[in-house]
Amino acid sequence: MSAPLRALPAVFSLGLQQQLAYRWNYFLRAIFSALPLLVSWVFWGAVFQGRETVGPYTFAGILTYYAVLLVVEAVCQPSDDDFQISREIREGMLNPILLRPLPYGLYRGALFAAGRCAYLVAALIPVSFCLLLLSRVIDLEWANFNLGHGLPALVGAALLQFSLTLCLSLCSFWLLDVSALIFLVYALEFLAGGHVFPLDLLPAPVFAVVRLLPFAYEYWFPAAALCGHLTDGAWKAGLCLQYGWAFFFLVLAHFIWKAGLRRYTAAGG
């Protein structure tokens, strides 16, 4: 096994320890992440008052979508990786990392994976509690649940979110503060990614455009694949686009890193 690959388990373990250093902070984050499901339940309950369906969704169907979205979020959404990368560049903390025989992308990838694993465990209790509570008052639509479609889409979404985060945060080589850029892309991800509402509720022409963008493959596509809303053809086409976008952003991040390193000045010991 090559040296970088041998180092990865150690970096992963380091990442886990970093994430679990402040357990209460982490646990609070997980609890708060489950609150929107409660709000969705109340709000969509009013929307469905006197109606069987809204667009292609029943009330149970839309709540199942939001419940699955919680899982997608736990598996794929970076927690603090973007700001950590930005800090490492801005404050010169890259110096010790550059000396190690480990590509920076792989190093950050291992930390990202550790963060997701730790968060998944922390979110397990509040998310399960929320799902249990919800399933007592409404029959969630688990019958069409498709793990075969969902798992590859989840891995693709995690890869896509990681590569996009890497691209954005590496802009710190040129910008003093990337937080505004990061929050602007967050907003786009929330709207065009299907975080605020399922994208198939959009008017058909808008939906046709939005599903070509990378954001749709961060939340909506894995959630729809897990819920079993996609035909085989739509799933395969979506998967190709999802991995295509992830590959594009990984290559872009590689070039940004190369260009950024030429500008980077290491100062101090």
Point out which residues bind another protein (CB under 8 A).
Answer: 22, 24-26, 28-29, 31-33, 35-36, 38-39, 42-43, 45-47, 49, 51, 54-55, 177, 180-181, 183-184, 187-188, 190-191, 196-197, 201-203
DSSP notation for 101-157: SS-HHHHHHHHHHHHHHHHHHHHHHHHHHHHHHHHHHS----TT--HHHHHHHHHHH
With respect to another protein, which residue has the nearer C-beta, 117 or 181? 181
- Residue 22 CB, nearest approach to another protein (Å): 4
Distance CA(127)–CA(212), nearest Å, equals 30
- Residue 186 CB, nearest approach to another protein (Å): 9
With respect to another protein, which residue has the nearer C-beta, 2 or 49? 49
Other Cβ atoms within 10 Å of 121 Cβ, number? 15
Give the residue from 47, 52, 68, 78 showing the smallest Cα distance to 230.
68
Give the residue from 148, 13, 129, 151 showing the smallest Cα distance to 67.
129
With respect to another protein, which residue has the nearer C-beta, 143 or 180? 180
With respect to another protein, which residue has the nearer C-beta, 43 or 129? 43
Distance of alpha carbon 219 from the chain centroid: 7
- Residue 202 CB, nearest approach to another protein (Å): 6
- Residue 39 CB, nearest approach to another protein (Å): 4
With respect to another protein, which residue has the nearer C-beta, 181 or 234? 181
Name the amino acid, one letter, at 10: A
With respect to another protein, which residue has the nearer C-beta, 78 or 156? 78
For residue 241, give every residue at least 6 positions away whose Cβ sits within 8 Å of its Cβ, in sequence order, or none: 211, 212, 217
- Residue 179 CB, nearest approach to another protein (Å): 9
With respect to another protein, which residue has the nearer C-beta, 139 or 177? 177
Distance CA(229)–CA(226), nearest Å, equals 8
DSSP notation for 206-263: HHHHHTTSGGGGTTHHHHHHHHT-S-HHHHHHHHHHHHHHHHHHHHHHHHHHHHHHHH
